[in-house]
Amino acid sequence: MAMDYAEIVKEVGSLRAPPNLDDYERTRREWSWDRVRADLGLRDDFVNQAYQCIDRHVYDGRGEKTAMIWEGADGAIERYTFEDMRRQTNRFANVLRKLGVRKADRVFIFADRIPELYFALFGVLKVGAIGAPLFSAFGPEPVAERVKRAEGMMIITTPALLPKVNAIRGDLPSLKHVMVIGHRAAVTAAEGDLDYGALMAEASDEFEIERTGAEDWSIMHFTSGTTGLPKGAAHVHGAVVGHYATGKYALDLHPDDVFWCTADPGWVTGTSYGMFAPWSNGVTQVIYEGGFGATRWYDIIQRHRVTVWYTAPTAIRMLMKGGSRIAKQRDLSSLRYMMSVGEPLAPAGVVWGVEAIGLPFHDNWWQTETGAVMITNFPALPIRPGSMGLAFPGIEAAIIDDEFQEITQPMQEGQLALRPGGPSMFRTYWQDEERYNSRFKGGWYLTGDRAKRDADGYFWFIGRDDDVINTAGHLVGPFEVESALIAHPAVAEAGVIGKPDAMAMEIVKAFVALKDGYEPSEELRRELIGHARQRLGPGVAPREIEFVSSLPKTRSGKIMRRLLKARELGLPEGDTSTLEED
């Protein structure tokens, strides 16, 4: 079932701006990264992400435009212009330089989403150091492990998180400074710690940005840890070319947009799309300090007249779980374009967007390693619900076999691979060159995901390499089974694994969380198995269903199938540093 976005938009009458990319084939044919560089005004060797996202707009006469609309968890609303951002980040950069922070030093930022987090990160980029943001809900252990791995020289944190840093700082020989940032609160630093307020007050708001080049390090992100130990993917300043281009053509950002990305900067979506893509495009964005809450989220869209919204399947599933009533009571008519990333988005999620909000969610695919969107459903093209979309112009994506040969026949399953190169791709796994090299084979970058491509070039996700199930001679992707289960009205979430079996090698087992108002029962279990069989056939439908109250997820919201499996088999759970505790 292809969904014609143009038709839907006509119906809801909200196509306020023609899409930036109106002819996919032509744009792809004529694509040139050099032209994007020229668009950004990149003429000589100087490329700095902070300059591109902030200072450039001030010099181009957009200094008074709002860069950030910040909404605090307590309801406070603050606005910062690009000029405010320039001054604050300059001050921060001066502070860092005075402390002796230099090019390529690793500076960790372990903070809640307060404005100072954003000043700090761009300050780090201005001195040419490497920013390494960490999700604030991490406990001391995961913080210590990551700081050690990257030999971090500084941690910037908030008063509430400082005790976690204090618990581990003795173990971190590379650590020279701890700085405490806070918002509106007086910050008392421990003896020997740096007091942000005092340092900023005496710093100048003029700063000469480090002359970084396209290949100089900028940011390091640890992956979500869905499949194992998180890896520190390191990126370079030149990545901003990819952020800008995907912001313009995949997110379809226009100058008067109000953009909202719900991801935390502790994960790559929260920096690539919660900072670099909107701001390199000079677009105003909303930053909300708090976490998920259906009513609050709809209020934010209504209050700030959000036009473009980027969120994740886990949030969409939670919104769906609550039903469409609250959405319908709000005025969400400002919205023009909605996207989802991070996990497969079931067709039911795409369609629910239309039902509840009047617009479909556009799925797109990328990874911490790729740094920017690689495959996406575009606004100008029909959505194929359940598909991740088409390769972004300038990106060559393919399905390859075990010999690293491209599979050109449509709908044949294989590994999703990309041609190496491109501005936003990671340049290493920090301190793990061997693992980095192992991702490149036969002239391809191996994504570790399995997928197929249809005759029109749309990619369909099957599962991660490690999650694919081998049952009685078929290979079954968990996503297909989960999507079928989610299509049943009682099911809120499903996680599917292969359970070892003497006869079939593995059998398909599903863990199912129900929507509000449904109770587990033997009858419902049978009904779900019947429902899945009808859609998938008996070879692919789950043989076993277990009801659970919730599924284990990473803090970035992804279902951790490896943990479901380990628990099922009574095996060690492996690295759980990114597991979200209920």
CB-nearer residue toward ligand ATP: 310 or 365: 365
Q: Which does 212 bind (CB under 5 to 8 A by kind): Mg ion, ligand ATP, none?
A: none
Cβ(168)–Cβ(144) below 8 Å: yes
Q: Which does 280 bind (CB under 5 to 8 A by kind): ligand ATP, Mg ion, none?
A: none
Q: Does residue 316 belong to the site contacting ligand ATP (CB under 6 A)?
A: no
Q: Read off φ and ψ for residue 525, nearest 5 degrees.
A: -60, -45
138 SS3 class: coil
Element containing residue 307 per DSSP (H, E): none
Q: Does residue 254 belong to the site contacting ligand ATP (CB under 6 A)?
A: no
CB of 478 to Mg ion, least distance (A): 15
Q: Does residue 307 belong to the site contacting ligand ATP (CB under 6 A)?
A: no
CB of 227 to ligand ATP, least distance (A): 3
Cβ(321)–Cβ(518) below 8 Å: no
Q: Does residue 262 belong to the site contacting ligand ATP (CB under 6 A)?
A: no
Taking alpha carbons only, the member of 247, 482, 214, 468 closest to residue 343 is 482
Taking alpha carbons only, the member of 445, 478, 484 closest to residue 464 is 478
Q: Does residue 464 belong to the site contacting ligand ATP (CB under 6 A)?
A: yes
**Binding-site member from 84, 116, 264, 343 for ligand ATP (CB under 6 A):** 343
CB-nearer residue toward ligand ATP: 298 or 366: 366
The site map against Mg ion for 222-251 (x = CB under 5 A) is -x----------------------------
Q: Read off φ and ψ for residue 440, nearest 5 degrees.
A: -115, 120
- Length of the chain equals 582
**Binding-site member from 344, 353, 379, 386 for ligand ATP (CB under 6 A):** 344
CB-nearer residue toward ligand ATP: 54 or 559: 559
Closest residue to Mg ion, judged by C-beta, is 223
d(CA 293, CA 295): 6
In the 8-state DSSP scheme, what is residue 234? E
Tokens linked to 339? 């996207």
Segment near ligand ATP (CB under 6 A); pick from 23-31, 202-210, 219-227, 377-385: 219-227
**Binding-site member from 83, 216, 257, 449 for ligand ATP (CB under 6 A):** 449
Tokens linked to 411? 């709908």
**Binding-site member from 341, 486, 524, 529 for ligand ATP (CB under 6 A):** 341
Q: Which does 558 bind (CB under 5 to 8 A by kind): ligand ATP, Mg ion, none?
A: ligand ATP
Cβ(510)–Cβ(485) below 8 Å: yes
Cβ(63)–Cβ(57) below 8 Å: yes
Q: Does residue 227 belong to the site contacting ligand ATP (CB under 6 A)?
A: yes
Segment near ligand ATP (CB under 6 A); pick from 149-157, 158-166, 341-349, 437-445: 341-349
For 397, 399, 449, 450, the CA distances from 403, given in Å and listed in that order, are 16, 11, 16, 15
258 class by beta-carbon count within 10 Å (0-12 exposed, 13-18 middle, 19+ buried): buried
CB of 223 to Mg ion, least distance (A): 5
Cβ-based neighbour number of residue 382 at 10 Å: 17
Q: Which residues bind Mg ion (CB under 5 A)?
A: 223
Q: Which residues bind ligand ATP (CB under 6 A)?
A: 223-228, 230, 341-344, 363-365, 367-368, 388, 447, 449, 461, 464, 556, 558
